[in-house]
Amino acid sequence: GTMMEQKYKPPYFLETLEPMEVTTGDAVCLKCQVAGTPEIKVSWFKADGKVRSSPTCKLEYSKGVACLKLSKATKADIGEYTCKAENKIGSASSTCKLNVLEAKTPPSFPKKITSLQETEGQPIRFECRVAGSSPIEVSWMKDGKPVTQGGDFAMLYDDNTAVLEISRGEMRHSGEYTCVATNSVGSASCRAKLTLQEPRFPPVFDRKLSPQEVIVGDSIELECHMTGSAPMKVTWSKDHKDIRTGGNYKISCVENTPHLTILKADKGDTGKYFCHASNDMGKDSCSADITVKERKNPPMFTKKPSENIEDTEGKLVKIEGRVTGSQPISVNWFKDDKEIHSSDKYDISFKSNVAVLCIKSSQVTDSGRYSCQASNEAGKASCDISVGISGGLLCQRREAKKPPVFDVPLKPVSVDEGDKLSLKCHICGTPPLKIQWMKDRRELTSVGSTRISFSDGTAGLEISPASKHDAGDYLCKATNDAGSEFCKAKVTVKGKISLSKAGFIGGLKIVYAGS
């Protein structure tokens, strides 16, 4: 018995299993060396379960060396492994821990920073997502120089997101930005450009189009002014139809001042005109109504009323004139510069270009200066009429009217045949005075060689040349509301006879005397 016992030995471990730490995907070999009396049988256990050979897990035992080989370690392989060696006499076991770590990955950017175009004064934010094994350190560069926290810049790294913020972008912030991520196994970077531009504004018409009224044939100038960031596109339209330069239109825009010229206006150019301006920030428009009218003629009196009208009380006095010009024409009447209107006193009408003022049952107080004024949109015309109304017989004594008196009477006149015959006298008395001339009880008028005048109280009669028929008695009669008066004179015409024919020597005068 004792011999046997000395001869046979139970299994024992010359090398025990060592704890191992590997990375996911690594190959694993758990190895130990066993000694003892053969036959020795080796088995593997993990967490009280027996480990069997499989394509991913190979169990080997050769020349006292036991191996458990994993081709690619996974998290599932973590645990406590035991190798048990047995023979007929006894058994022994060795245990170790296997830990499988996540594989370390270098940093990468699943989402990179992108280039930005921003307006001055706006906030700016660069953002990217970072992947890779922790711990990862993130830093930023601008144009190759490190960016420091504080001042213009704020940097954050949280939940795999890296952010660089500028609260208020300025032109000096333009440049190339780089985000760098680093861990124990590597580093990565991504870059983007920041371009800053002046603030941009939409168009605004600060001076708009003004409505206009023009005459056919005139040119029309439409102009407005706008503010906003260039480039701005300007278009014109009329009643919502586009206007293009050329033909009757000329379009320009200098120093933000759009200008449209219509060279020769026509009635068809009447309408609503729009100016539109647009840029990448917005648009604006303004409009105005343009009216094109026919050329108007100002009023004109083609037939003026009489300049002086004299009449007696109680009569209807009618003043009328003819007016031409573009309609509508309005006619106004004035007496001593005060406007008068149709009433019980006045009848006023304007029909078929004839303007009429009737003074009904006139009185002395209606005497004065009347004027007629015709006006239209092109101008005005006026004419004056002097009206004198004298009192009736009832008013004579009240107004102390004086009858005519010849204060310088006619004188008898003798003229040579063929010379000028002239008779003159002066009358005083209340006007109006009516003067009549008679010869041999027949009234004389200004006709042929006879001229009759009456001015400033002087009545005149001229006959040129005088003939022998003009010899006789002449009478001048003056009449007014207060009475009448006359005076007479004898006219002698001396004949001339050529006595050579009669054979007389010397001259002979024949006298024709009024009978």
Q: Are 70 and 42 in contact (CB under 8 A)?
A: no
Residues 6 or more apart whose Cβ sits within 8 Å of residue 304: 321, 383
Per-residue confidence at 151, pLDDT binned at 50, 70, 90?
confident
Does 137 fall in a domain? yes
Mean of pLDDT values over 353-377: 90
Global pTM reads 0.37
**Does 409 lie in the same domain as 384?**
no
Is residue 86 over pLDDT 50? yes
* 200-209, 284-293, 479-488: segment of lowest average pLDDT: 479-488
Residue type, position 142, single letter: K
Distance CA 253, CA 261 (A): 11
Distance CA 474, CA 182 (A): 147
| Span 307-358, pLDDT tens digits | 888 888 888 888 899 999 988 999 999 999 899 898 988 999 999 999 998 9
**Whole-number pLDDT of residue 500:** 45
Distance CA 45, CA 122 (A): 67
Does 379 fall in a domain? yes
Short-list 317, 358, 351, 359, CA closest to 331: 351
Does 509 fall in a domain? no
Distance CA 303, CA 193 (A): 89
**Whole-number pLDDT of residue 514:** 54
**Does 90 lie in the same domain as 26?**
yes
Pairing of strands 338-340, 405-408: unpaired
Mean pLDDT value across the chain: 90
Looking from the CA of 477 toward its CB, the CA atoms found within 13 Å total 11
Does 507 fall in a domain? no
Short-list 103, 107, 85, CA closest to 94: 85
**Whole-number pLDDT of residue 304:** 87
Does 175 fall in a domain? yes
Short-list 229, 231, 235, 133, CA closest to 183: 133
Distance CA 293, CA 213 (A): 7
**Whole-number pLDDT of residue 1:** 46
Does 398 fall in a domain? no
Is residue 505 over pLDDT 70? no
Per-residue confidence at 432, pLDDT binned at 50, 70, 90?
confident
**Whole-number pLDDT of residue 164:** 96
Per-residue confidence at 200, pLDDT binned at 50, 70, 90?
confident
Which residues constitute the domain of residue 81? 2-101
**Whole-number pLDDT of residue 315:** 86
Place of tokens 């209606």: 366
**Does 77 lie in the same domain as 146?**
no
Number of domains forming the structure of the chain: 5
Phi then psi for residue 6, to 5 deg, are -70, -35
Is residue 72 over pLDDT 50? yes
**Taking the C-alpha atoms of 14, 15, 16 and 19 in order, what is their torsion angle to the nearest 10 degrees?**
170
